[in-house]
């Protein structure tokens, strides 16, 4: 019987990386074809070899004082099928400046046809290398404003948990390496291996959105004072009936100029931004157990509960009831 194909993965280590985004993804790939087999008394068939590579081959000094031993240097790492960039756990600008020598290597590996993947803020290194221009990408929702400012040519999708554009892959929030890892295991080994791995690690497959965890505050990261004033006004009046042409007139802009400036500043249209404000308010109210859905719907400017529920699901990937079940604070037992 032919042996299943084996793949080489390199994880990039750098100062102030998030340790769990390194060790977790290394464990996940190394256990593909192994853990499920052991549980069922079958012969393990490892599908991946995984190497941690640093600039000089020395330890990777992660954020929070964790150090990890590396297996190679960036420039001498084994020929990898897949290169993974973990989360930047420290200052983003400082990390980019300190790792300039990585950028031409990333471009070379991309030109050689290797798969490149980033988790969370690790996407900034792919962006800095110019490898995301014209591509769909995602990053942690809290850094989406900064990302858009630095890399305006990237088609950023901050609501998406995973993006895949040709051979470049990005994952969203800090623990999204779990979803990214399963996604890539399925890409290389097929859905059966990925499902077995998910069951062995007691994980869900197929999560697509980080919108339920996001915050509208990420879209305040801009320098247009007039649009900031509009955002303040919308936050105070979100429960009212609002016409965007009247709002533009109130702030002394034509509707066309208003829409253009708002989108340039926030990355969204005024209407979609208002809808997201209302969804954010509804999320807070859903975390209060005594609030009924009809009451919440009216409190955020809607009369039709069904219509608002559809909007909520579109924006968060969850129904209001599912959101309440997941995020309702637990009552301490006493």
Query: 17 pairs with which residues across the strands?
Result: 88
Q: How far apart are CA 1 and CA 261, in angstroms?
A: 63
pLDDT, tens digit, for every residue of 87-131?
999 999 999 999 999 999 999 999 999 999 999 999 999 999 999
Residue recorded with tokens 């929702």: 141
Torsion angle, alpha carbons of 15, 25, 328, 121, to 10: 40
Q: Nearest CA to 51 among 25, 27, 72?
A: 72
pLDDT, tens digit, for every residue of 3-49?
568 899 999 999 999 999 999 999 889 888 766 566 667 776 788 99
What's the farthest any 2 CA atoms get from each other in the chain? 74
DSSP of 230-251:
HHHHHHHHTTS---HHHHHHHT
Half-sphere exposure of residue 104: CA atoms within 13 angstroms, side-chain side: 3
For the chain, which domains are there? 7-212 (3.40.50.880), 225-327 (1.10.10.60)
| Residue 74 pLDDT grade (very low, low, confident, very high; cuts 50, 70, 90) | very high
pTM: 0.65
Answer whether 66's CB lies under 8 Å from 23's CB: no
Overall size of the chain counted in residues: 334
């Amino acid at each position: 019987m032919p042996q299943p194909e084996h793949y080489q993965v390199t994880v990039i280590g750098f100062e102030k990386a998030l340790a769990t985004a390194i060790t977790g993804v290394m464990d996940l790939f190394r256990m593909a074809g192994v853990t499920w087999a052991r549980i069922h008394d079958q012969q393990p068939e490892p599908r991946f070899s995984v190497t941690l590579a640093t600039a000089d081959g020395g330890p990777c000094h992660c954020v929070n004082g964790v150090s990890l031993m590396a297996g190679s240097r960036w420039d001498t790492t084994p020929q990898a099928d897949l290169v993974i960039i973990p989360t930047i756990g420290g200052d983003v600008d400082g990390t980019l400046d300190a790792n300039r020598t990585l950028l031409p290597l990333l471009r070379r590996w991309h030109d050689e046809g290797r798969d490149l993947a980033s988790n969370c803020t690790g996407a900034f290194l792919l962006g800095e290398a110019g490898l995301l221009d014209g591509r769909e990408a995602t990053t942690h929702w809290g850094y989406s404003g900064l990302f858009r400012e630095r890399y305006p040519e990237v088609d950023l999708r901050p609501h998406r948990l995973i993006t895949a554009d040709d051979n470049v892959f990005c994952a969203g929030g800090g623990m999204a390496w779990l979803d990214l890892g399963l996604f890539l295991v399925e890409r290389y080994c097929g859905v059966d291996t990925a499902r077995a791995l998910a069951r062995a690690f007691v994980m869900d497959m197929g999560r697509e959105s980080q919108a339920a965890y996001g915050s509208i505050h990420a879209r305040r990261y801009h320098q247009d004072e007039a649009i900031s004033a509009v955002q303040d006004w919308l936050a105070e009046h979100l429960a009212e009936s609002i016409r965007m042409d009247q709002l533009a007139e109130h702030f002394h802009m034509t509707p066309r100029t208003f829409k253009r400036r708002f989108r340039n500043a926030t990355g969204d249209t005024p209407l979609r931004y208002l809808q997201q404000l209302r969804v954010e308010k509804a999320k807070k109210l859903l975390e209060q157990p005594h609030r009924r859905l009809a009451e919440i719907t009216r409190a955020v400017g809607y009369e039709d509960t069904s219509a608002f529920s559809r909007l909520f699901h579109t924006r968060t990937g969850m129904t209001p009831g599912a959101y309440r079940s997941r995020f309702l604070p637990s009552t301490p037992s006493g």
